[in-house]
Structure 1
């Protein structure tokens, strides 16, 4: 079900999703310091950039990319319910 949200509330929704993503990534990397999630939003697409220390990237990506793909699916579902597309980009 698509939730109708006013344009001025979309930034708040994107910020809340970024906070959720930050918490999930923080837990996946065993509380590693230096985990940051930022986002850039366009008309219909938001790019969430995740910065993780080098030694924790493997945990985030997972075996054969399963962890990051799962995160992307969850993020896509959250964003889709508000009517926009979301992409996760790992900052190397």
Structure 2
């Protein structure tokens, strides 16, 4: 669900939104939403990679399926879950 939110946006970020709007041929509001969403993706992936957010919750917050979140993480080179050594240690009862 979309709803209007009043924000104070610094001039330098508005200039960035103007640049994106021109380059992507979209209106400024769309450019701002795109920039916000990219930041949200980065933040959710960072929390997910640290184990501070589950895959299902990340997907829910981003409006994606869990598979799409995994694809996004792979595209951005973000490692999710433990390393192979951590998985082996967990199976052997060490953490």
Shorter-chain TM-score tier? 0.3 to 0.5
- Which has more helix, going by share of residues? 2
Q: TM-score, normalised by structure 2?
A: 0.32
Please report the TM-score for the alignment, with normalisation by the length of structure 1: 0.33
Q: Larger C-alpha radius of gyration, 1 or 2? A: 2
Q: Per chain length, whose mean CA-contact separation is higher, i.e. which structure has more relative contact order (CA < 8 Å, sep 6+)?
A: 1
